[in-house]
Amino acid sequence: MTDHPLHPLGPVDASRVPRFAGPATFARLPRLDQVDHCDVAVVGVPFDSGVSYRPGARFGPSAVREGSRLLRPYHPGLDVSPFASQQVADAGDIACNPFSIGEAVETIEHAAGELQDAGSRLVTIGGDHTIALPLLRSAARRHGPVALLHFDAHLDTWDTYFGAEYTHGTPFRRAVEEGILDTEALSHVGTRGPLYGKRDLEDDRRLGFGIVTSADVMRRGVDETVDALRQRIGDRPLYVSVDIDVLDPAHAPGTGTPEAGGMTSRELLEILRGLAGTNLVGADVVEVAPAYDHAEITSVAAAHVAYDLVSLMALGGKA
């Protein structure tokens, strides 16, 4: 143990150890067992048993860690050194049962709760979007019902799929039903593509969600989008969930349910940076499926999203 609250243990020095060498922790940060305390834990959840189309997101955490090797310690866009102002560590993976979604959800909730009880805020790398439900349960246990910004091509508020209540398309309906979301402060961002019917939108509105489509972002621009989102969030405890398929397949081909007409990586990152100063208590980046990812485009994008989320935590209040 070599860290100190005033002098966090940071990433491996790239001027001494080449970026392509050494263990692939997120951003080459220390492991959780190498630090005495941890303000922000980056944790993987290699689980994809809830997908409805292309599998493979169970390999997302390892791919995103590899894609994070080029991240550097100073964020000029936010004017923050996120690894120097707080202790950030890689907490490894939450191993859960790939054959039982119910058991996996319980395992994730318990493990996330243990990390939070130890004083860490979590940036979680999935895995499919099923994992958002147990992560939100854990966040709400600590903070009460939380505001949610959900970046995704899809609503993920469907009721069931093949009779299953817990899939990557249902987490936010279950979360509203369980009372763990603040229904005055919910928004999807980047949605697009065909739906099963108009009722999908009606059900979603009834649950309390506002929608900013990818076309809205294109027409209104980043600044107007950020202003609208910040008004909806206020100063509430905020959870941000990013399905990487919110990006157009040109920017993120390596995902399970791609949809044309998505946001650019630049738009997504700039919207996230516009959230500086909000009370971000937890976040996830999910649905990276490296088998479909040529040249690591998707894993690199996801690594930068996770880096921005860690940086936002450095700028916001302590949870």
Report which secondary-structure segment, H or E, holds 101: helix 101-117
- The vertex-211 CA angle with 309 and 76, nearest 5°, equals 25
Provide the 8-state DSSP code for 82.
T
The pLDDT, as a whole number, for residue 7 is 87
Q: Is the peptide bond between 67 and the residue preceding it cis, with omega within 30 degrees of 0?
A: no
- Span 147-169, average pLDDT: 98
What the block records as the tokens of 202 is 């009606």
Tell me what percent of the chain is helix, strand and coil, each rounded to the nearest 5.
40, 20, 40
What is the pLDDT confidence band of residue 318, given thresholds at 50, 70 and 90?
very low
HSE-CB for 173 with a 13 A CA cutoff: 22
Residues with Cβ within 8 Å of residue 152, at least 6 apart in sequence: 129, 188, 189, 190, 191, 241, 242, 243, 245, 246
What the block records as the tokens of 165 is 């209540």
The pLDDT, as a whole number, for residue 158 is 98
Q: Is 204 helix (H, G, I), strand (E, B) or coil?
A: helix
- In 3D, which of 221, 312, 215 has the Cα closest to residue 260? 215
Q: Which position has the token pair 């390596």?
A: 254
Cα–Cα distance, 102 to 104 (Å, whole number): 5
Cα–Cα distance, 118 to 177 (Å, whole number): 28
The pLDDT, as a whole number, for residue 241 is 99
- Span 1-5, average pLDDT: 54
Q: What is the pLDDT of residues 227-245, one digit of tens each?
A: 999 999 999 999 999 999 9
- Span 59-66, average pLDDT: 98
The pLDDT, as a whole number, for residue 193 is 95
Q: What is the pLDDT of residues 90-111, one digit of tens each?
A: 999 999 999 999 999 999 999 9
The pLDDT, as a whole number, for residue 5 is 59
Q: What is the DSSP string of 217-270?
A: HHHH-HHHHHHHHHHHHTTS-EEEEEEGGGB-TTT---SSS--SS-B-HHHHHH
Q: What is the pLDDT of residues 242-298, one digit of tens each?
A: 999 999 999 999 999 999 999 999 999 999 999 999 999 999 999 999 999 989 999
What is the pLDDT confidence band of residue 3, given thresholds at 50, 70 and 90?
low
Please report the domains of the chain, with CATH numbers, ordered by start residue: 26-315 (3.40.800.10)
| Cα-based distances in Å from 31 to 24, 126, 137, 259 | 10, 18, 25, 36
pLDDT over 50 (residue 319): no
pLDDT over 80 (residue 55): yes
pLDDT over 60 (residue 2): no
Q: What is the pLDDT of residues 297-316, one digit of tens each?
A: 999 999 999 999 999 999 98
**Torsion (CA) 217, 222, 227, 233 in degrees, nearest 10:** 70
Query: Max alpha carbon distance in the chain (Å)?
Result: 57
